[in-house]
Amino acid sequence: MLPIGISAILFDKDGTLFDFTASWSGWADALLDELSCGDRALKSMLADAISFDLRRGGFDPSSPVIAGTLDEAAELLLPHLPDMRSQTLITLLLERSIEAEMVAPVPLAPLLDALLARGLVLGVATNDGEAPARAHLDRAGVRNRFAHVLGYDSGYTPKPAPDMLLGFASLAGLAPSAVVMVGDSTHDLIAGRAAGMPTVGVLTGLAVHDDLAPYADVIVPHIGHLSELLAPR
């Protein structure tokens, strides 16, 4: 169970609200095709740069892209794209991210409505851009359930720094201890601990239980279990 007095839940997006592998593996392969323009050797180098396994069609759990920002992904790819400017690549990544089709681990609307019915304030804090995050939530039909959606480009230092989380608490008018941080990566949970928030780890990203255990107060298979963790209101 989580502590009594929880007033808000702050979700990471990729790997939490949306299953990471189901949402991003096909997208990444298509992006590498686009960037390499049919050059198989270049595609292989780009894949290695972001720790994407072309044969398996998925990211390695150690990939810095998983919890990183679009800027960080661009920095990894740019050395292999000498004819592309940094801002051009970042803009392309942003545009393609907006187009990505997200796959939720559970039906989102009923879950979020049940949490709202308990009087909870809901938010999103993601190391993705704010525009892609809003687009993904819109397409999932749940954008209006969230009071605040914050991305790495919303004016806060990205996770694992606690700034984005503290920003949400301030916007919601709540003490950090009244906000639960829910995420699939150590970045999410380290940020939550640094912000003074209870933390819940989920296993719909690429991290396994033992990766998250040092930083999570509770670990559940997916966000569908959240209601079970909350004390009656």
Query: Do both 151 and 59 map to the same domain?
Result: no
Tell me how far apart the alpha carbons of residues 149 and 176 are, in angstroms, rounded to a whole number.
17
Are residues 125 and 198 located together in one domain of the fold? yes
- If one counts the domains in the chain, the total is 2
Say if residue 92 is in the same domain as residue 205. Answer: no
Residue 233 has a pLDDT of: 64
CB burial of 69-97 (b: ≥16 within 10 Å; e: otherwise) equals: bbbebbbbbbebbeeeeeeebbebbbebb
One domain, residues 78 and 120 = no
Instruction: Show the low-confidence residues of the chain (pLDDT under 70).
Output: 233
pLDDT for position 1: 81
Predicted TM-score (pTM) of this structure = 0.93
CATH of the domain at 213: 3.40.50.1000
Same domain, 85 and 114: no
Examine residue 1 and state whether it is found in any structural domain, yes or no: no
